[in-house]
Structure 1
Amino acid sequence: MLLVLLLACSPANPSPGRALDSAGEGTAEPLPGDSAADNDHDTAAEPWTLPTYDASALPDGVPVVEITLTAAAMSRLDADPFHAADEAGSFTDGEGVVHDVWLNYRGAYQLQGVIAYYDLRNWKVKFAEGDEYSGHRVWNFNYEPHLRAQLAYELLRFAGVAVPSARHVSLRVNGALAGTYLQYEDPDNKSWLAEQFGDDDGDLYKGAYDLPGEPQCFADLTWLGPEDADYACHYAKHTNDNVAPDDFAVLRAFVTALNDTPDADFPAWAEANIDVDRLLTSLAITNFVAQWDSYPQRPKNYWLYQDVRAARMVLIPWDLDNTFSPNVDGSYNQMGTTASVLYDLEANDYEAPNEGEGTERPLARRVIAQPEYRAAYLDRYRELTTTLLTDDWLDDRVQRLSAQLEPELSRTDAGRLESANAEVERFVHARTAFVREELAGL
């Protein structure tokens, strides 16, 4: 079976522009290298091999990188952290090479928390065409002196789901140590799309507009109306937006068919339009790690990409820092270690914290409602519990990643990593036991 949900986008040469699009992430205005000419390049016609990754390999060390910008530029970003325009600056990579870049803050509620609690910033860094960093032009740097997001991205990546790579770096800002940051590329990179899907010509969308203190537009993939404009607030278009910024026909047609295809015809439609195998793998892993802050629990924090080569749409999981937490808080984290393996997949189990989030999740529930796909999901989950989703693999991974990080940590970050690792270990041991027992009875 093939998969139907994807997302990605490509920036161009660094250039000043708006800080945030309707998905709340930083993007510049149309740039050289992201022009109509780029959209004429047919990557889907070129030879391509699906990438695979070694689940035993570790990142190549913990590089020290540095962001430099003027005090005036940082003041402008601080004055409007969610909407400020990109600022010119420089980025020094782990080899000491200095790159001219455009800089901005990234994120919404996580950025808000990092500023309030630590007086730090999360960053989006945009490199020039021809001066890419590790092969890509748009990168994210989040203050994360823990392994939650890295582990979650690795599990998905090693299991065959298209997600960014993730590694820790030691970040300095204007000469001062900021801390231990997670570095990962943005799906909004044509090079990343071509690498993962063999094409970069499709439409890429990011789900939901959700910024602190502003009206929300969630992205539950229900039908919103017959006009392209009905979808614009809910899904930020990231590719082909310079050519046809108001054209949401691809997304609108997909959402319409997802919701309106009769039950009797749905398996055939899904087989033709969804890479079911990878979708089921994604649902299983995000369920295991208790990713409560994304689809299907919440209608946000994901990307959709029109995979032109496969003629399907693809879902790309995103923002995985709220994972591996054993502590249910009765508000946002409602999963913990004892969420069913079918949590929120057959009915609405997650109580939305915001009225506008709704209760329908057609992408996940219409697929799982098909007996053959439900069985395939459970079989895939069982298979993963013998490979990646085990105490042994996860404990070993945490120990090896921590051993690599520890020599580079400040005393503060070392304490935060130790505390987070204790929670992750407690989560993993309780979760694996619960999942194995439930799967054995299904």
Structure 2
Amino acid sequence: MTPPRAYLSARMLSVRAMGYGVAGVVLSVLLACSRVPETAGEQQSLPARTLPEDWQPFDGRFLHFVSIQVAPEHLEALENDTEQRIPCDISINGVLLHKAGIRKKGGAGSVSPLDNKPGWSLKFDEFVSGQRYRGLDRLLLNNALQDRSLLNEHLAYSLYRRAGLAAPRTAHALVVLNGKVYGFYVVREAFDKRFLRTAFGDGRGNLYEASCCMDFAAPLGSPALLDLKDEREEGRTREDLEALAAVVENAPDETLEKELEALLDVDAYLTGFALEAALAHWDGFAFNLNNYYLYRRPRDGRFVFLPHGMDQLMDRPDFEPFQEPRPRLAWRVWAHPSLNARFRARLAQVVRDVWDEPSLREQVDAVRAVLESSPRHDVRVRRELEDFQVAATTQLQRFQERRVLVEERLTQ
């Protein structure tokens, strides 16, 4: 029997309007008609459906379907090499991409064997020059192994954008590799030149990525430790980051603020620092020297931080927002009377103006509707959906409690 095609057309819109209880019944009936096997791990394909005509790669109105095919002779390389991409064929929401590139993500929060649930990095023009998926040349599929709510990155980056900062867009997907259902993933925008052009009007500046747990300044690091993108290919130098590190390390308190302003967008940095503290993002730059990118904007020559890896939020409910930070830059802000006052004012502004709980609830409800539209024939999907229902409620409550705690700390 042909699988139903109505998940996200007019019927999907009416399902959302009915509420989740009735929606679940309707979707269960629709999916039952497809007669897909009930056992996990069998060769399975994703059903066809009709999408809105104006759909986008990070569209939140529907669950994205990603089907990947890797030849058997490449599976060993895919398992063991997290640096080099191997060829694969990909279908994303019906868009076919032949000879794209795929590799497992190798970070501590993403690494996983093929028989579990790896995170994926996709590059569509790895072997076919100019190949794009809706204008994108690459895409990240985050496995959310440390976030059963599948919400942390999705909500956190939306708060960054609401605060006026550049942040990657996200959506949610159901992923199948070689016929095996791998479950729900967070689809995340990559920090490539297209992103940089969109966010800053120019993608030619130096982009640095830090590994855990490295500072770009002494005593816990240096500019040489960060990965400078396209360093060899385009003959880039690290003089810009070396200059910033020198200010962070050596500028006297009397001139620190002025010298930083010349090389760093201090307002943007303080906003990001405040968001990390408010969200109890203990695994970011300020508190763990992890999960950060630095980009030097060509228009003014100043650095900005880009948020990354925000999948562990509020799992330490009593996390102190005013604790002594680890990086030299964050420490100097914390120890500097004027900069510290600006940080506290920015934290208050974030809680007052950016932390929009009705908007957060709407986003959670939208993600719930999208995930509940998924085919339920695979045991992994059913288990992850059950985990989501519990974790989403818990995480939304944590957001509410965290705001109260930060407001109380601001008054002390």
* TM-score range for the pair, normalised by the shorter chain length: 0.7 to 0.9
Q: Which residue of 1 aligns with 2:321?
A: 341
Deviates more, 1:388-397 or 1:299-308: 388-397
* Letter paired with 2:339: Y
1:174 and 1:387 map into 2 onto residues whose CA distance is 46
Query: What does residue range 20-419 of structure 1 map to in structure 2 within 5 Å?
Result: 59-78=60-79, 80-83=80-83, 85-112=84-111, 114-115=112-113, 119-128=116-125, 129-144=129-144, 146-187=150-191, 189-208=192-211, 210=212, 218-223=213-218, 231-232=223-224, 234-244=225-235, 247-325=237-315, 336-343=316-323, 347-348=324-325, 360-408=326-374, 410-419=381-390
2:310 and 2:197 map into 1 onto residues whose CA distance is 23
Give the CA deviation at 1:175: 2.7
Is contact 2:63-2:172 (8 Å) kept? yes
Is contact 2:215-2:222 (8 Å) kept? no
2:335 and 2:209 map into 1 onto residues whose CA distance is 25
| Residues 230 and 366 (structure 1), Cα distance of their counterparts in 2 relative to 1, 3 Å cut | closer
Is contact 2:176-2:183 (8 Å) kept? yes
> Secondary structure at 2:135's aligned position in 1?
coil
> Secondary structure at 1:195's aligned position in 2?
helix
| TM superposition score normalised by structure 2 | 0.77
Gaps of 5+ in 2: 1-57, 376-380
RMSD: 2.5
Give the CA deviation at 1:341: 2.6
Is contact 1:391-1:432 (8 Å) kept? no
| Residues 423 and 70 (structure 1), Cα distance of their counterparts in 2 relative to 1, 3 Å cut | same
Q: Which has the higher contact order (CA 8 A, sep 6+)?
A: 1
1:370 and 1:280 map into 2 onto residues whose CA distance is 13
- CA deviations over 1:15-44 (Å, ceiling 9, x no partner): xxxxxxxxxxxxxxxxxxxxxxxxxxxxxx
> Secondary structure at 1:385's aligned position in 2?
helix
Percent identical residues: 24
> Secondary structure at 1:243's aligned position in 2?
coil
1:221 and 1:423 map into 2 onto residues whose CA distance is 36
| TM superposition score normalised by structure 1 | 0.72
1:173 and 1:179 map into 2 onto residues whose CA distance is 10
Bigger helix share: 2
Q: Which residue of 1 aligns with 2:399?
A: 428
Gaps of 5+ in 1: 1-56, 211-217, 326-335, 349-359
Q: Which has the larger radius of gyration?
A: 2
Give the CA deviation at 1:81: 4.2
- CA deviations over 1:248-274 (Å, ceiling 9, x no partner): 222222211221112111111122222
Give the CA deviation at 1:400: 2.7
1:371 and 1:400 map into 2 onto residues whose CA distance is 42
> Secondary structure at 2:309's aligned position in 1?
coil
* Letter paired with 2:394: E
| Residues 230 and 276 (structure 1), Cα distance of their counterparts in 2 relative to 1, 3 Å cut | closer
Give the CA deviation at 1:311: 1.0
Count of aligned pairs: 343
